[in-house]
Amino acid sequence: MLILVLAETAVETLPQELWRNRRIAAQVSEKKLTPEEILLDRSYHHKAMLRLKGGERRGRPDIAHFSMLEAVSSPLYLRGLLKVYVHTCRDKVIELSDKVRLPKTYARFEGLIVQLFSDRKVPELGPPLMQLSEKKFPELVEELRPSKVMGLSRLGEKSNFRDVTSLLSLEERPMLVVGGFPKGPFSNAVRDAMDEVYSMCEMSLEAHVVVARVLYEYEQRIGLQY
Ligand SMILES: C[S@@+](CC[C@H](N)C(=O)[O-])C[C@H]1O[C@@H](n2cnc3c(N)ncnc32)[C@H](O)[C@@H]1O
């Protein structure tokens, strides 16, 4: 079983610091919603985010959407050999069950995540498909007890998809960590909880591309038939 964690993922509802911002307040009232029912999104809130602490790494829910879709559509997940977690920039952790089918349409994805942030699980009744808890990344590692925590970063030790997935396939309970943020390295708190960090290539790739490629290579290494 491979554990995939998207770490420090740039997904959160509108932070309180922005609720009184004129443009944001106008958007909230126009949509007839509360600020807790809208995800922070750089494509709509760019100006308001300019003074937000750590703003350059926040407000990119599309990264979570694309990367989660890649993960739960992979043969590895569909065969029950992949467990997926999304750790957010505000230290919340989303645990996906093994039967999640995510909406492909962004508006519906936003609705689902907003509901999850409010109710802490979706659906409200019945066995949860996604659950939310407050947890820092090292706490998640402590709880899951992986045999190795392997991070991927352009700034890590030079390697490639084949070699990294070969190493992963030797582990009994490996955890693979991909950054769910748009810029920069992992924070020290997250980096320090990893055993090893590898770079796949010189280029900075989009998180969803990394997720798709690393899962494909891992499937090859373990000889998954599909
Ligand atoms: C958009 S990138 C974050 C930006 C950062 N510049 C970087 O290079 O790692 C999102 C995530 O994709 C993964 N990633 C992107 N390019 C990578 C590379 N060349 N090697 C390994 N991981 C990479 C990392 O996990 C990274 O946190």
> From the CA of 15, how far away is ligand 1's center (Å)?
25
pLDDT tens figures, 117-167: 999 999 988 889 999 999 999 999 999 999 999 999 999 999 999 999 999
pLDDT tens figures, 88-125: 999 999 999 998 999 999 999 999 999 999 999 999 88
Dihedral over Cα of 183, 187, 190, 196: its sign: positive
Atom of ligand 1 nearest to the CA of 206: 1
pTM of the model: 0.97
Atom of ligand 1 nearest to the CA of 7: 27
Atom of ligand 1 nearest to the CA of 202: 19
**Residue list, ligand 1 pocket, CB within 6 Å:** 152-154, 178-179, 181-184, 199-201, 203-207, 210
> Which residues 6+ apart lie within 8 Å of 157 measured at CB?
196, 197, 198, 199
What torsion do the CA atoms of 23, 28, 29, 31 make, to the nearest 10 degrees? Answer: 120
> From the CA of 88, how far away is ligand 1's center (Å)?
16
> What pLDDT, on the 0 to 100 scale, is given for residue 110?
95
* Dist CA 63 CA 44 (whole Å): 15
Which CATH topology does 2-10+59-105+131-221 take? Answer: Alpha/beta knot (3.40.1280)
Q: What residue's CA is closest to ligand 1, atom 19?
A: 154
Identify the residue whose tokens are 């993922």.
9
Indicate the domain borders of the chain.
2-10+59-105+131-221
